[in-house]
Every structure is written in structure tokens, then in C-alpha cells.
Amino acid sequence: MNAPAKDALVLFMPSGRRGRFPLGTTVLDAGRSLGVYIESVCGGRGICGRCQIQVTEGEFAKHQITSAASHLSPFTETESLYVSKRGELEGRRLSCTATILGDLVVDVPQDVQINRQIVRKRAETRTIERDPATQLCYVEVEEPDMEKPLGDTDRLLRALAEQWRLQSPLIDLHLLPKVQKILREGEWKVTAAVHHEHGRPVVVALWPGLHNFACGIAVDIGSTTIACHLSSLLSGRTLASAGAPNPQIRFGEDLMSRVSYVMMNPDGRQAMTTAVRNAIAVLIGKVCGEAEISPDEILECVFVGNPIMHHLFLGIDPTELGGAPFALAVSEALHFKGSELGLPVNEGARVYTLPCIAGHVGADAAGATLAEGPHRGDEITLLVDVGTNAEIVLGNRDRLVAASSPTGPAFEGAEISSGQRAAPGAIERVRIDPETLEPRLKIIGSDHWSDEPEFLEAAESLGVTGICGSAIIEVMGELFLAGVIDEDGVIDGSLAAKSDRIVQTGRTWAYVLWRSGQPGSNREIRILQTDVRAIQLAKAALYAGVRLLMDKLGIDHVDRIKLAGAFGNYIDPKYALIIGLVPDCPLDKVAGVGNAAGTGARMALLNKGYRAEIESLVRRIEKIETAMEPRFQEHFVSAMAFPNKVESFPNLAASVPLPARKSAGDGADGSPRRRGRARRGLE
Amino acid sequence: MNAPAKDALVLFMPSGRRGRFPLGTTVLDAGRSLGVYIESVCGGRGICGRCQIQVTEGEFAKHQITSAASHLSPFTETESLYVSKRGELEGRRLSCTATILGDLVVDVPQDVQINRQIVRKRAETRTIERDPATQLCYVEVEEPDMEKPLGDTDRLLRALAEQWRLQSPLIDLHLLPKVQKILREGEWKVTAAVHHEHGRPVVVALWPGLHNFACGIAVDIGSTTIACHLSSLLSGRTLASAGAPNPQIRFGEDLMSRVSYVMMNPDGRQAMTTAVRNAIAVLIGKVCGEAEISPDEILECVFVGNPIMHHLFLGIDPTELGGAPFALAVSEALHFKGSELGLPVNEGARVYTLPCIAGHVGADAAGATLAEGPHRGDEITLLVDVGTNAEIVLGNRDRLVAASSPTGPAFEGAEISSGQRAAPGAIERVRIDPETLEPRLKIIGSDHWSDEPEFLEAAESLGVTGICGSAIIEVMGELFLAGVIDEDGVIDGSLAAKSDRIVQTGRTWAYVLWRSGQPGSNREIRILQTDVRAIQLAKAALYAGVRLLMDKLGIDHVDRIKLAGAFGNYIDPKYALIIGLVPDCPLDKVAGVGNAAGTGARMALLNKGYRAEIESLVRRIEKIETAMEPRFQEHFVSAMAFPNKVESFPNLAASVPLPARKSAGDGADGSPRRRGRARRGLE
């Protein structure tokens, strides 16, 4: 016979943390003492219902724990009262009142799932343990007493210190005029929003009674689009999302033209700061409207963006980022009040911006790195955010390097004769028959290929207006696979004999991707030699940057490639490999990862641990300035070819029949002859 | 023969701190290592000239140090350069470059002398060691480097951390847009204003190059008058002072009528907050104009005021202070930004408000306590700030108690038939001949007594308009000494037979203090029985409060009495004793101490150590709520008599011939009969 146990083994899932606790300990206390994050607004009074957990019956041999629901105390009076007021717990228990009677496996429900399916259309989801920088703390405050004339605010702060173990809490000035009224309205029971920053807890908002709701926003300020997500800080659920074009576009399409605008116009910086802040204010109104909450419920705001967006949002002149040495005004993460930026959120709401990695590798790249976590694994991961500037992070848990490459706007459809933004009518998919050289294509707004009868109707109503970014990559890849362009990117004029798709334009040749079927219309969408050259320049710049980072790490292949951003999300990884945008890699290890920057922002919103993680990570990322590296130019020239002349592509070759190289054996040399050819191509 | 010493004994004056240092140590380093505050903006580069010290020749047997100027290194090149650029050092040395060669006595010049002569007309001056919460730090910042893309701001903060040993400095958001321009303008040499608060240093202002100037203001918000002093944070010198009436007077003369105004008017609180902040803004403009500096140089602001002024200034509704339990919205010291209050000072300037002691014992009383320091000595000190509410602090280093007493506005001339504010024409001094009962008096605006021929001219041009606060005390004292009023405060009508100054007014008698000499004018200034009663009530309230505190401490006498505030400054201590306003005390130990609250504010401005001192002191002061104490009423009734019936006045009697008591032996009993009489006097 065993003597009755005096303590019990408790395992918390999904974190896997475990420990022994005296019988009678509440599950909440046990979890917290192990550092398991269990939300609780009321501080264990059984009224907020946030600390729910679940205990499953059965044996857990794997965990060496025989768990049974009977190892948890029976349903308590507090729980009955809670159920009578707030509704069923549906098999869950309130961990602040349920106590440990024997070995247990406790499931902490993770309502927080940053569901990537929505953004990326792939199955991976991730569970984020919550630990937001702002927490709600319900307290009972002593009433004033003439014998002890401590101020009402001081008694509130003392109650917080005692009941929530907060060290010397402070309070925002804007609350001082409201404290007395709120305390009396709540009959000396109030809920404080406490923000933790720089080591000192600060009361940033206050409500009478129990206030069981708190929100935050995560915003990705892209140069083209601004995306805003509203999340509950308590459940972690995303309540609403909205996006809008960045209104700075009217000052300049790409980043550098916006910097020029600031340099040329005395009020340019102010105008762009106002524009982006107003757009964000509108988005905040939109997500709040959609979720039917007051903007006053927003207590935390996290922002990411490339360095120029980051600076303009903060009211900083980005001129220094326009030229060497590309000095950031500030690179570290920043904390301030929403009111300092005029954001229409709770007056005490706090703002956090992720750190910038380098002059052209911004807080958005930091967010993407945080979300994709190359630093968490052993695989050498290449993370690329493709835009006007490509932001590149490469490495694994041991070492990370980062750089930006001046790809220019070709990938976004600019500098391409028929290029356009993604919009209905834009060509988004292309296939070219290697025998007949006839194309098949799809346009945005129709699900049908152009050889299906339904396509014509869509084409007539939408028009076939141009080629969007992702299709440009595809058409180049298909032209290369079909032999229309050779490895040096030259359109083969001799094929004009075989197909009327090959036409002469001045001294070079072009490929006719689309001809209007309308009688009397001679509208055509052509791929010109200059278009091929523009893509060659852009992809060579990106590849050279990646290659430089690989040189730094002394590696000749990568284990995994993640393409972030809208562009990275829509391009077919196969074509990225075929045109040599990225180094060779097994096709199933290359994937678009959607708005990883935004995901990183949401992580920093929901858990302050991620803030510490990205801040210390950014400090240790080694930054490479491509413009400073002599080898960049060398890699760049060699990477002009399709796929390129820097490396062979065994993984790619295994899945796609690549055309034979013109001169096998000298693929990787970048010999003067080839360089000369490549350069001529630029003229 | 002695072996040559390897180190030397150095004594710093006036602090008296001493230590041994290796030869060759700079005097600055030696001083700092002992905690001696020596200002330095340039951090030891010999360019700011702030770290001047003086070494006197001669033997200092008392200090056991044989000091000689030759024990200091010869004039250095740095000093020569400084002199060539900035002018003579006049016998002083730059402690950052002068090194120790032997035993030394070092004088640290204390330009900071809060010269009380100006305010108080007495000789005491006090030296305050400076250690302001905001310091200027000149730094040289690394230029940006593409290889190490840390932001400009981050490099600035790192330079501050390294060159000034600051732990993890932060920076204000408002500076971020300016940092890059300032760094380049100063060619990577800048001066940062660093504010220390809550343990983290924060950069609050930034200038290109060496910025060798920083100011602060100390403001005492009185219910009647607002006083503002502008001081250099570097030298401690007061650069300008200005005062203005508190514009809230138009909402209510006294504190309680202002609270009522807030209660009756929905916008009352806002109107009064705006009024006081605007008045302070005007005063800031005035002192800056007088000192010929930009308000942008103001980096620190310290405020004191009674609880209602304190709350209204901060935008807090003072309604709760209008009734029991007199709950302060906030009692502890507060820190925030000037910009949060809309003050016209540097955008990064910080504001500090001293703590309030209790519901009616405010930050002004805390300031006065800090300035007068009853807690620093062994003497039992009574510190009284006389106003509509008297704020009373009593005790010594062992124990301090505090209370407020509802004296009402009689001491300010209100409730007195001929009372008026101090203004030209007001009677300010009174003497009454005990034989003839004829008065002599002086009016504000004339140096002559009324029995001098020059007086008439002044009386004709200014008029004799009323009696100001300090003279009310004096006339009561003189009437008592002359036997016109008895110890119960009754005007003796039988004296009408002896003097036509005694006249009947209805059922009581009055004393004619002034008769116009103008033919045809029958203007008189009379002291009515009701005036005597009003003063009896006010002085009894104050005395009863003091007595209650004495009871708490279990003492029957005090060693020293300090009368703070404008009223305390102008009344003759002798008359304060004669009418029994304060307990008996040797006359030479009773003194007015002027605007002690303002002095305390200046101390907190110039040395953050005083902030810590008053904060911890206020926490340990025992607060007595007079309204809660049953003995208050008892003391109050007994204290109605002149001087009063609570105690005998041996010290007073030794210097002033007091009238014989009507009934010797029952002076201290407050018997029903006497109480009844005193009460009737109130009817």
C-alpha cells in the first residue's frame, strides 16, 4: 500500500512544462509558477472566466502521468456562480478555483492561432502563447480614510502592487483627472490596463468594475499597401482585418521617388507623414467598425514597415536613406504612446515598432524573420521579401546574415512594357507550348485558361490589360523553357520562321503573348527584348545579393527558401527557380509565406517575449551592404543568364526539363565573353 | 626622510567629504568618486568651463591637511586654451584637467546660494549642492558606417552610455525627427540633455556642438498669488523671478468657493485649469524676457501648491477635497512632460510636482518642510503656513506630525469690517498708548508713523483705506495690551469715559482706529466687537490645530516657530504670541521664513536628492485630521481667549508686560462658564 501522496505531478499542454505541486494548489497558481501563460483579468476571483483549462480523462504513459478528471477538485461554488451568470463552461474549468488532487495533464486552450491558411492558402497554423505587453488587472481598492490620507490614485497603485505583485507601478497623467470618478463608479472595484515596458509597470487605462475586453492592432505599412489586423489581447483571436493602398503613392510610386519628393519639397515629409497616419486612422476605424468595438478598446499597436515607411510614419525625414551610407535615424525598437502619434485609439494605448535591421532592411524584414524563424532551426533558410528593394535574410540558429538588393520595380510590373499592377484583366498565369510556341494564359477575374471557351467572355468584359508581377516571372520562365529566349536572355529571331508569335521590333525581336480577337483591333501584348533585360537585371540583383550572403556563410546551397510579401505569395516557386531568382533548392522546400511581416507584427502584439526575441536577434544579425562588396558586381553579371551562371541547378533539373546550355562547362565562370554579351544586352 | 607619497589626502569644501587618491588623479574624478557634485557639461574635455574649483594656499591644521596650490598640477595646456577662448579663470582651475600632486583642500564654488535675504530680510543664506534631475552631456558620436548599420540615434545613445556611463539611455519621440540634422550640424559632436527619472536616463533635448546652458523654473501656485523663479540648472543662480495674481480669483476668492464653482459649473474645472496654466505661461514668458533667454532653454519645471491648486493645475476635479474624507486624487510626487500640460517650455522639459501631505496639507507645505527642514534637527520646530487654511507641521528628526486648521480668511482681511488686502493706503502697523488709548499707525506706501508730520501728506495722497492682514494681528495685540479688550475679547465699554476712541455700536462697543482729519469727512476705521470675534475664531482654530499636534507628540512647548507664507512674513512674531496665535516660545526663536514653499520648489529643481528626501519624508509624516479629533473642539474653545487659556506664556511674559488675568488660576481650564462666555461672543 502506498501512503497517500502529498503532492502531484502536473503537465501543462501544449507547452509541455511540468512540475510537482502540493495537493490543493490551484491550477492557475501551478501553471503560473511554471511560467505557463494563463490569462486572468480578475486575479483569481472566478468572475472573468479567462483562466479556463481542460483536463482530459485517461492515461498518459508517454508523459508518465496517470491523469483523470477526478484528480481535479469537484466543480466549485465559484464555478457554479460563474456558470449561472455567464453561461456554460462546456467541460472546461476555471483554473483559479479548481485545485490539484492528483497527477494531471492540463490543456491550456490556445485560442490564439495565427491561422496562415487565410493568407497563404497552406495548411500550417501556428500556436502562439500569449503574453501581451498590456494586461488587464481587476483590483479592489481601499476606500479613503481621513487618518491615512494617501491619495485615491496612490491607493489604487498600492492595491495593484499587492494584488498583482506589480513592482512600483506608475500611472499615466491623462488618467489622473478620471481616477476618482472611476473608483466611485466601480464602488472601489476597478480594472486597470497595465503596460509593461522598460521594467516599470504603468497603468494606461482604467474602467469601473470588471472590464473583460482588450484589443490591439498590428499594422504593416507597405509602400504600396497598408494592412491592419485587430486582435483580442485576451483570446488572441483576430477580430477584423483591413487593407488600403498607401496614399503616399501620389507622392511617388516607389520608395526612392518618395525620398526625392521629400528632398524637393519643404513640406514633403510632413505631407507624407500626415497621409500615412490618416490612412492608418481610417483603417483603425474600419477594423473597429467591422468588429463592432470602440477604438477606445485598443490598448496596444504594433507597426512594421521598410525603413523609409518606418521613418515617414514616425515623422522622420528619410533623406539620409537615399544615399550612402544609408544611415537610419533610429534602428532599435521604439516604444511610445499612441497619442504622441495622434492615433485614434485609447488615450493610454502604447505603440511598439519593431527594430530595423539595416538602412534598407527594415522592421518589415524583422517581422518576417520573427514570423518565419530561420534562427529557430538548423536548416539554412533563405527568407526573401521581394519588392522594389529585396530584403534578404539567410542562415539558421547559429548565424544569420542580411542584406538588401536593389531589384528595382520590374517585379512589380514597372519598367516592363506591358506591366501593370495586379488588377482584374491582368495576365496572371502563362504557359507556352514548346512545340508550337502558342501561349495559354489566365487573367485576374476569371478562373479559365485562354483555351477554354468561357475565357473569351471574361476577356471581353474585363479586357486583357497587361501582365502583373507574378506572371512576368512565369512568362520569362516559359519563354526560356520553350527556347524562345536563350540562357543569355536573347529572343531567338530565327523562330519567326516557325511561329508568327515571334516578331521583329526594330533591331531586336519580341514575343506576342496576346492578340485581341476583336475584329478591327490590333491590340497586342508583347514581351520585348527590353522586358527580358529588365527582368534579367532585377533577378540578377536579387540573386547576387543572396549569393553574397551565401559567400559570407561559406555555403553553396540552402535548405529552404521562403518568399515573403504579396509578390512572393503569388509567384510559382518553380518559375522563381527556372529564371534563377533564387538558388537551387528542392521544389517542395520553396514556398511563398504571405505577409510574414504582418504575422511578425501580430506575434509582437500578442506576446512581449517576441519583442525581446526580435530585438536581441536583430542585434546579432550580420548586415552586409551589397554596394560595398566587390563580389556583388561579379555575381550580378554572372546571374544575368537563365537560370544563371553562378551555379548548377540539380534540384531544379530533376523536376523541370531545362534547355541544354549553349556551352556546357563554362556555366559558372562569368567569362569575359559572356560578361560582354550580358552587358551588351543592357545597351 | 619620508619616501615620496604615492597618494594624497583631498578634502572637498563645503561638503567636507575627503578621501585618498593616487597622485595624478584629476580633481574632478576624485570629487565625483566621493559623491561631490561638480558640474561638467563637456565630460572632462576642458571646453565647458563648468568644473571650476579653487585651491587655497596654506595649512589646514583643522583638517590635518597641509594644502598648497603647488600640490595641484601646473596650469595645463587645456586650461590655457580655455582661457584664450573663454577668458580668465581668476584663480580657479578646471578640475577635469588639474591633477592631484599632494594633499589638498579643494573649494567647490557654490554659485548656488538661495539667498533668503531678498525674500525674508534676514541674513541667513543657504548653500545647496546641485544635482539637478536633468544634466547636459556633451558627446562625440561615431559616424555612420555601412558595415555597422546601427541608426544614428542608437549610436548617439551608445556614445552617451559609454562616455557618460549612462545605463541603457532612452530618447524622447519628439527628438527622433531631429537627431540626424543635429548630429550633422554639430559634425558628430552634440550636447544632450539627459533626464533621470524612475531609474532610466532619457534624452529630452539635443543641440549641435557644445551647449553650455540649461534652465529650470520653480513655481508656487498660491490661491492668491503665483510666483515663478527661473534658475540656471548649471550655476544654480536665480536668473529672474516674477509673480502674478492667481486668475482663479474671479471664480472664487478662497479655496472652498473655487471648489463650489467647480461643483456648480460643468466647465468650471476646465476653466480654472486653463486660467492657472495660462497665467503660468505668461509668467514663464516674463521671467524668460527678463533673463533674456528662450523658453526653449527651460528643461525642468517644479510646482508646489495647496491640494486644490495642485489638483486644478493638473486638470483634476477638486470636488472630493470639499468634504470628508477629503480624498486627494493623488498624493505622491508626480513626473511628466511639460508638453502634456501645454507649458511653453522646451518640448522635452520635465515637470515634477512635490507630494501632498494630506487632503488640506499640500505640496506647498511639503516644499516649506523641505526648505525649513524640521526633520533635519533635534529642535522641536513648529512650521505654520498661514492662509485660508493653516498648514501646520510639527516635530524634529525623530517624528513629524502635520495637520491643517480651518482658520478662515480673517487673517487675510476678509470677515473684518475694515479689512483689506495689502495695498498702498492699508494700515500695516499699529501702536496704542495704554494710558491715553490713542493709536499711532503706519500705512503701506509711507515710512512714517501717524504722529510724524510727513504722514499727513501720504494719508492725503494714498488715503487710509483699511487694515491689512498683518496689522489686524497687531491691532488686536495692542488693544489687548492696552486693556481695551479683555482676555475674553470683549471691548470694555467703560473706557468710553476715558477716551472718545471707544464708541458704542448697537449693543456692543468699538474702537476707532482712524478718523479722517479732512474737514467735512466723517470717515472712520473702527475695530468692531465682531472683528475681535472673527480674529478670535481664526487664531483659536490655528492654535487648536497646533495644540492637537503637540498632544500627539506629548509635548507642552516647542523650541522654534517658523511662520511661512506672505502673511507669516509680515506679521510681527511678538503679536502672534500676544494674541496666542502660536504657543509660547522665546521671541528670538519665532520668525517669518517667507515663501518657504517656493524655496522648497527651487531646492527640488536644483537637486534631485531633495526630491527623494521630501518623498520619503512625506510618507513618514503622521497626518492628523483635526475634524476627527474630539479634543480639537476643546482646544478651540479654550484658545478663544487672549493669549489663550490652554497654556501660560512665560517666555512671552518675560518680554512683554501682559495684562493681569481676570481670574488667576483658572486660565487653563476652559471651564463651562468661560466657554459659555466665549460662545456668546460668537453670537
Residues A615-649 pLDDT 10s: 999 999 999 988 778 899 999 999 999 988 777 88
Reply yes or no: is the peptide bond before residue A325 cis, omega within 30 of 0.
Answer: yes
Q: What is the pLDDT of residues A236-270, one digit of tens each?
A: 888 999 999 999 988 987 888 899 999 999 999 99
Give the whole-angstrom CA distance, residue A600 versus residue A354: 9
Nearest by CB to residue B151, choosing from A171, A173, A332, is: A332
Give the whole-angstrom CA distance, residue A316 versus residue A214: 30
B368-383 per-residue burial string, b: 16 or more CB within 10 A, e: under 16? bbbbbbbbeeeebbbb
The band of A489, judged by pLDDT with boundaries at 50, 70 and 90, is very high
Greater pLDDT, B655 or B537: B537
- CB atoms closer than 10 angstroms to residue B656: 16
Question: Side by side, which strands form the sheet with A170-171?
Answer: A134-140, A189-197, A200-208, A170-171
**In chain A, which residue's Cα lies nearest the Cα of B311?**
A177
Give the whole-angstrom CA distance, residue B624 versus residue A146: 8
User: At residue A670, what is the residue type?
Assistant: G
Give the per-residue pLDDT at A69.
66
Mutate to test the interface with B, among A328, A618, A624 (most CBs of B within 10 A): A328
**In chain A, which residue's Cα lies nearest the Cα of B332?**
A154
Nearest C-alpha neighbor of B478 from the set B462, B501, B457? B501
- A502 - beta bridge partners? A511
Give the residue-averaged pLDDT of A521-543.
91
Q: What is the pLDDT of residues B516-525, one digit of tens each?
A: 876 666 789 9
Determine the longest span between alpha carbons in chain A, in angstroms.
Answer: 104
Helix or strand run (H / E) with residue A329: none
| Window B:231-250, CB contacts with A under 8 Å | none
Give the per-residue pLDDT at A514.
92
Give the whole-angstrom CA distance, residue B335 versus residue A541: 52
Give the whole-angstrom CA distance, residue B137 versus residue B48: 10
Q: Residue A102 to residues A9, A55, A94: CA-CA distances in angstroms?
A: 7, 12, 17
DSSP codes, B365-426: HHHHHHHH-GGGSSS-EEEEE-SSSEEEEEE-SS-EEEEEE---GGGGTTTSTTB--S-TTE
Give the per-residue pLDDT at B542.
94
Nearest by CB to residue A154, choosing from B144, B315, B330, is: B330
**Strand A466-467 relative to strand A502-505, pairing:** unpaired
pLDDT for B532 beyond 60: yes
Contact list in A for residue B324 (CB cut-off 8 A) is: 146
The band of B236, judged by pLDDT with boundaries at 50, 70 and 90, is confident
B358 touches chain A (CB under 8 A): yes
Give the per-residue pLDDT at B668.
44
Please state which of the ranges A422-426, B312-316, B447-451 shows the lowest mean pLDDT: A422-426
Give the whole-angstrom CA distance, residue B145 versus residue B188: 13
The band of B49, judged by pLDDT with boundaries at 50, 70 and 90, is confident
The band of B254, judged by pLDDT with boundaries at 50, 70 and 90, is confident
CB contact under 8 A, A173 and B340: yes
pLDDT for A666 beyond 80: no
Q: How far off is chain A from B360, nearest CA to CA, in Å?
A: 10
Q: Which set of grid coordinates corresponds to residue B639?
A: 484658545
Give the per-residue pLDDT at B128.
66
- Angle at CA of residue B335, ends B332 and B336, nearest 5°: 140
Helix or strand run (H / E) with residue B136: strand B134-140
CB contact under 8 A, A146 and B336: no
- DSSP 8-class letter at B573: H
User: At residue B56, what is the residue type?
Assistant: T
Contact list in B for residue A315 (CB cut-off 8 A) is: 176-177
Nearest by CB to residue A180, choosing from B320, B334, B625, is: B320
Determine the longest span between alpha carbons in chain B, in angstroms.
Answer: 104
CB contact under 8 A, A357 and B149: yes
Cβ atoms B361, B390 nearer than 8 A: no
Give the whole-angstrom CA distance, residue B265 versus residue B275: 15
Q: Residue B76 to residues B10, B82, B99, B108, B382: CA-CA distances in angstroms?
A: 20, 10, 10, 19, 53
The band of A672, judged by pLDDT with boundaries at 50, 70 and 90, is very low
What is the percentage of chain B residues whose pLDDT exceeds 70?
Answer: 90
User: At residue B623, what is the residue type?
Assistant: K
CB contact under 8 A, A146 and B625: yes
Q: Reduced to 3 states, what is the DSSP secondary structure of residue B141?
A: coil
Give the residue-averaged pLDDT of B273-298.
97
Give the whole-angstrom CA distance, residue B425 versus residue B418: 12
Q: What is the pLDDT of residues A563-620, one digit of tens each?
A: 998 777 788 899 999 999 999 999 999 998 988 999 999 999 999 999 999 999 999 9
Find the helix packing angle between A307-314 and A255-264, rounded to 10°.
40
pLDDT for B97 beyond 80: yes
Q: Reduced to 3 states, what is the DSSP secondary structure of residue B169?
A: coil
Contact list in A for residue B171 (CB cut-off 8 A) is: 330
Q: How far off is chain B from A201, nearest CA to CA, in Å?
A: 11
**In chain B, which residue's Cα lies nearest the Cα of A307?**
B151
What is the percentage of chain B residues whose pLDDT exceeds 90?
Answer: 63
Give the whole-angstrom CA distance, residue B67 versus residue B56: 7
Q: What is the pLDDT of residues A20-48, one digit of tens each?
A: 999 999 999 999 889 888 888 888 888 88
**In chain A, which residue's Cα lies nearest the Cα of B340?**
A173
Give the whole-angstrom CA distance, residue A299 versus residue A347: 8
Give the per-residue pLDDT at B223.
87
> What are the φ and ψ backbone dihedral angles of B27, each rounded to 5 degrees?
-65, -35
- CB atoms closer than 10 angstroms to residue B122: 12
The band of B115, judged by pLDDT with boundaries at 50, 70 and 90, is very low
End-to-end CA distance of chain A: 91
Across chain A, mean pLDDT equals 87
Mutate to test the interface with A, among B150, B277, B615, B616 (most CBs of A within 10 A): B150
- CB atoms closer than 10 angstroms to residue B584: 22
Q: Reduced to 3 states, what is the DSSP secondary structure of residue B436?
A: coil
Cβ atoms B348, B299 nearer than 8 A: yes
Give the per-residue pLDDT at A675.
38
Cβ atoms A360, A307 nearer than 8 A: yes
CB contact under 8 A, B331 and A154: yes
Q: Which set of grid coordinates corresponds to residue B233?
A: 540648472
pLDDT for B261 beyond 90: yes
Please state which of the ranges A470-474, B241-245, B625-629 shows the lowest mean pLDDT: B625-629
CB contact under 8 A, B181 and A317: yes
Please state which of the ranges A91-100, A366-375, A496-505 shows the lowest mean pLDDT: A91-100
CB contact under 8 A, B152 and A329: yes
Mutate to test the interface with B, among A148, A152, A180, A619 (most CBs of B within 10 A): A180
Q: Where are the alpha helices (DSSP H) in B315-374?
A: 363-372
Give the per-residue pLDDT at A57.
63
Give the per-residue pLDDT at B4.
64
Give the per-residue pLDDT at B316.
97
User: At residue B571, what is the residue type?
Assistant: I
Residues sharing a CB contact under 8 Å with residue A429, sequence separation 6 or more, in sequence order: A441, A442, A449, A471, A474
- DSSP 8-class letter at B432: E
Q: What is the pLDDT of residues A426-475, one digit of tens each?
A: 999 999 999 999 999 999 999 999 999 999 888 888 889 999 888 999 99
- A419 - beta bridge partners? A467
Q: Which set of grid coordinates corresponds to residue A573?
A: 516557386
pLDDT for A657 beyond 90: no
Place of cell 467647480: B262
Nearest C-alpha neighbor of A231 from the set A130, A108, A346? A130
Helix or strand run (H / E) with residue A299: strand A298-305
| Window A:607-666, CB contacts with B under 8 Å | 623, 625, 627-628
pLDDT for B303 beyond 50: yes
Gyration radius from chain B CA atoms: 29
Greater pLDDT, A579 or B89: A579
Reply yes or no: is the peptide bond before residue A14 cis, omega within 30 of 0.
Answer: yes
- B24 - beta bridge partners? none
Contact list in A for residue B316 (CB cut-off 8 A) is: 176-177, 180
pLDDT for A206 beyond 50: yes
Greater pLDDT, B615 or B644: B615
CB contact under 8 A, A152 and B325: no
Give the per-residue pLDDT at A36.
85
Nearest C-alpha neighbor of B640 from the set B500, B491, B537? B537
Give the whole-angstrom CA distance, residue B66 versus residue B666: 66
Q: Which set of grid coordinates corresponds to residue A198?
A: 522598460
Gyration radius from chain A CA atoms: 29
Contact list in B for residue A169 (CB cut-off 8 A) is: none
Contact list in A for residue B404 (CB cut-off 8 A) is: none
What global pTM score does this model have?
A: 0.86
Q: How far off is chain A from B293, nearest CA to CA, in Å?
A: 28
The band of B601, judged by pLDDT with boundaries at 50, 70 and 90, is very high
| Window B:189-218, CB contacts with A under 8 Å | 198-200
- DSSP 8-class letter at B24: T
**Strand B390-395 relative to strand B426-432, pairing:** unpaired
Q: How far off is chain A from B400, nearest CA to CA, in Å?
A: 15
Please state which of the ranges A274-288, B61-75, B270-284, B353-367 shows the lowest mean pLDDT: B61-75
pLDDT for B324 beyond 90: no
| Window A:266-325, CB contacts with B under 8 Å | 314-317, 320, 324-325
Q: Which set of grid coordinates corresponds to residue B332?
A: 505622491
Interface predicted TM-score (ipTM) of this complex, two decimals: 0.85
CB contact under 8 A, B152 and A330: yes
Give the per-residue pLDDT at A62.
57
pLDDT for A678 beyond 60: no
Q: Which set of grid coordinates corresponds to residue A311?
A: 521613418
